[in-house]
Amino acid sequence: MHSHLRRMLTLGVVCATAGLTVSATRGERRLDNGLARTPPMGWNSWNKFGCNVSDKLIRGVADAMVASGMRDAGYQYVNIDDCWQVARTPQGVIVVDSLRFPNGMKALGDYVHSKGLKFGVYTDAGRKTCEGRPGSYGYEAIDARTYASWGVDYVKIDWCNAEGLDARTQYTIFRDALAASGRKIVFSICEWGSNQPWDWAPAVGNLWRTTGDIADRWSSVLTLVDLSSQYWHLAGPGRWNDPDMLEVGNGGMTNTEYRAHFSLWAMMAAPLIAGNDVRAMMDSTRDATATREILLNKEVIAVDQDSLGRQGTIVQASPSELQVWVKPLADGSRAVLLFNRASVPSTISANWGRVGLKTRRARVRDLWAHTESAAVENFYAATVPSHGVVMLRVWSVPD
Ligand code: GLA
């Protein structure tokens, strides 16, 4: 009760500055399907492969998730995005592309499960998917049953070709269809933040996109961060803001930028859905090594996956390009991100009061350098590369 009150008070203050209305969140019902108690982690085909999906690709990725250590680091879901579906039978059952998926989805799901992973598919709540494949509008119940029969554990539901439909209504129909399917299925809402999902999505899905699609470039990361960070107060166990999937390892950014991208997603308690070719991660090239170091950084992953489920917020931005972010964690420590958006290396300093510590001294661990200082007094300052971060975890040290 006490902490709830405190949270509501904080909410009031920050909402006022962000220009949001508190009523959007007050007393709202929340989806309680017992899933996604921490932000979902996994892989999705879209960012790297687009429509070029197949049974062979998905099996290869599942194998690589195990061999690369991704599964053991927490990446669970192997999700096929658009383009696996081609038609419907006269009875309305969705038809899988049999050239690309000759063994059918049930066999593929079984294979993914045999690797200790979970299985996800994609559909669209409108009449067609974004790539023009059959959508689920009017077929929600039958599709949910079909997915359940394949052993699907996660469904991402898009919003293309939905003219004249109401997003909240259609996604709620899907929520109920999934609940009636008899299988526990994570529900990923993908309407790009275009129908005020902050007003209804926490009662409907486990995660909801807050933005348009990510692109593999730095400016896109900034755009997504600036949107998704506004809705921090909605996040919690079972319900997450989704600033879209990861681009780490896809080649369009520097490794410094990818490290920042990954750190920001962890600070925002965002889903960590890798979007790279996991099969190429075992290569010995410099970039493959950097990709592994980023996606497999267990200390950063632990911040994202922290059981408290709080989304981090910006506590300092002066000047606006030099930011300090803080995310409270379950053991009483705090993750702190020094984030340099400027085009030159800059010193960023975080003082303990601003970070929310009540002591003069703190134990500080650098989550990328993997080094630790036992008793840092009053503040921590570091030179942060342009488009880069220094990510810390800090524990109060009693005086
Ligand atoms: C939309 C979604 C993307 C992806 C594509 C597939 O753009 O936002 O994440 O699923 O559709 O067509």
pLDDT for 28 equals 55
Residue 196 has pLDDT above 50, yes or no: yes
Whether residue 26 has pLDDT greater than 50: no
Phi/psi at 390 (5° precision):
-120, 125
Single pTM value for the model: 0.93
DSSP state of 200: T
Pocket of ligand 1 (CB under 6 A): 46, 81-82, 122, 129-131, 158, 190, 192, 213
Pocket test for ligand 1, best of 154, 190, 227 (most atoms within 8 A of CB): 190
Percent of the chain with pLDDT over 90: 91
pLDDT computed for residue 14 by the predictor: 36
Give yes or no for a contact between 304 and 39, defined as CB atoms under 8 angstroms apart: yes
* Closest atom of ligand 1 to CA, residue 244: 9
- What value does the mean pLDDT of the chain take? 94
pLDDT at 141 over 90: yes
Residue closest by Cα to atom 11 of ligand 1: 130
The single-letter DSSP state of residue 128 is: B
Q: Higher model confidence: residue 121 or residue 23? A: 121
Burial of 48 (0-12, 13-18, 19+ CB in 10 A): buried
The reported pLDDT for the residue numbered 10 is 39
Q: Catalytic positions, please? A: 158, 213
User: 269 near 330, Cβ under 8 Å?
Assistant: no
